[in-house]
Each structure stands twice: as C-alpha cells, then as structure tokens.
Amino acid sequence: MKKNAILLLCLVLLAGCQIKDLAPKDNTTTNNNEEQQEVNPSEGEITYSFDYNYIRFSHSPDETTNINITYPQFKDENLSNVNVEIENFAKSKFKNVMSNLNDETPDITLEETYSITLSNQNLISILGEGKISIAGTPYPSNTSSTLNINPSTLQKYSTLDLLNVTDDLVLLFKNNASPLADFNDYLSTLSDDEIKDSITKSCVYFSDDNLIMRYEVPHALGDYVEISFDNESINEFLLIQINTENPNE
C-alpha cells in the first residue's frame, strides 16, 4: 500500500503547470469577488469585464477520498471559453487522482484554491496552490500550478513561451534568490545549466508589478521557493506582451 501511495503522490505532483484535461462538472458557487479592470483595446477588439465568482467543487465518493477545489469563473459571457479552460485546469489534479484510484488506494485529501493574479486584454494569469495528503506517506505535500492564457485567442503559455531562458536570466535569478540562505545553499550544489533547466520547468505567474517564479526544491525546503522579478528587470526576457500600458518592445 505504501508503494501505491507514493506512486499516486508522484503522479499528482508531476502534473505541474501544464495539465489541461477537463474533469466532470459538479460545482456550487460559494463566494463572489469583484475585480473590475479598465482596458483600452485596439479598434475592433472586445473589451472584457473581469468580474468573477468563485466556484467550489467537492467530491467525496467514499469515506477515504475528500477533494475540495475552489476556482474562479468570469461573469462576462465573452470570457465563457476562458471559463472552460480555467475549469479544465482547476480540475486536472482531481482527474489525475481519480484515474489512479483502485481498491488498494489509501485515504486521500486534496484541497486546492485557484486565484486570478492578473487579468487584462493580453493575459489572464492564475495561480493554483494547496495540499495533498495520502495515507502511507509521511507528510502532506504542497501542490502548485499556474495557468497563463490569452483571453482572445485562448493560447496557453508555458514557461518557455513566456521567457527567453538565457545565462543572463540565470544570473538575475541567482541575484534575486540571494537573500534566501537555505535556498542559496541548495543552489550552490547545482550548475548553471541545471538551474536553467529547472527554470524552464518552473511554474510562473504574473501580478501587476511582477513575474513570480515557483522553483521546485526538495520537500525539506518547502517543495518550492518563490522568486520575484519586477517588471523592469524581467522585461528584456519576456517573449510576449503582458502589460497593456507598458508593452514589451
């Protein structure tokens, strides 16, 4: 049973930032959030309203499985296709868990919340975070995933779609990580090429003023470490336009 528990945990955590499958729909609205953002699109483009509700999805098919997922849904009908993608993204770990259940699967608890960190005409950025507990493993594990999507084209961006991962970016990453003593001790064991490879696999999301990277680390260090880059410092590495007021040249 312990082997099954560890295998299932690995399958869930390896899903990372790129899962896009849609799970069965079963939700209820739990709370409301108003986020009105003014945009100035070019002539002919749709102006989106970014008000949204939170939806809570719960699934407990038996006494040993308890899954709760909270995710946003926009009110604007022009964003209905984006809502499908968000639901798809939010329920991906749920679907991964359910597809690997069997008679020998131990008790499972999955709690996740997905939050909108940036929404404008060019990009909607979403951060998912939570915990998964599986009987037979010594401790809960943190889950983390991100979705970055263009609201008009529905194009979903991976880290390599968003960032030009160069030696200069590795240097900036190390400089921004320098205040974190334990993390720096860990980085000192890695080559720049290993750090660069890990950056390409990291989850990234955006706020109004920053790009935030969630860099995977051993569980003893917390499963991931957040490194923040302000817009000015990260701009030269961006491959797409993020900010509607300050386009990437």
Note the pTM of the prediction, 2 decimals.
0.80
Rounded Cα distance, 25 and 238, in Å = 35
Look-up of token digits 């005409």: 121
Confidence (pLDDT) at 12: 52
Domain match, 90 and 8 both = yes
Confidence (pLDDT) at 35: 40
Neighbours of 104 (CB within 10 A): 9
**Percent of the residues in the chain that have a pLDDT greater than 70, as a whole number:** 77
2 Cβ contact list (under 8 Å, min separation 6): 136, 137
Confidence (pLDDT) at 103: 62
Mean pLDDT check: name the lowest of 194-198, 199-203, 223-227: 223-227
Q: Is 6 a residue whose pLDDT tops 60?
A: no
**Percent of the residues in the chain that have a pLDDT greater than 90, as a whole number:** 53
Q: Is 213 a residue whose pLDDT tops 50?
A: yes
Domain match, 16 and 135 both = yes
Confidence (pLDDT) at 65: 83
The token pair that represents 212 in the structure block = 């935030």
Question: In DSSP terms, which residues pair with 25 in a beta bridge?
Answer: none
User: What mean pLDDT value characterizes the chain?
Assistant: 82
Confidence (pLDDT) at 105: 64
Domain final position from 125, 149, 173: 149
Residue 27 is assigned to a structural domain of this protein = yes
Mean pLDDT check: name the lowest of 19-28, 35-44, 90-99: 19-28
Residue 16 is assigned to a structural domain of this protein = yes
- Burial of 52 from C-beta contacts in 10 A (0-12 / 13-18 / 19+): buried
Residue 242 is assigned to a structural domain of this protein = no
Rounded Cα distance, 150 and 139, in Å = 37
Residue 23 is assigned to a structural domain of this protein = yes
Residue 126 belongs to a domain with what CATH number? Answer: 3.30.565
Q: Is 27 a residue whose pLDDT tops 80?
A: no
Mean pLDDT check: name the lowest of 25-34, 191-200, 224-233: 25-34
Domain match, 124 and 207 both = no
Q: Which domain holds residue 168?
A: 159-237
Overall number of domains in the chain: 2
Residue 57 near residue 91 (C-beta atoms within 8 A):
yes
Look-up of token digits 């009908």: 77
Residue 185 is assigned to a structural domain of this protein = yes
Domain final position from 82, 114, 149: 149
Rounded Cα distance, 15 and 244, in Å = 31
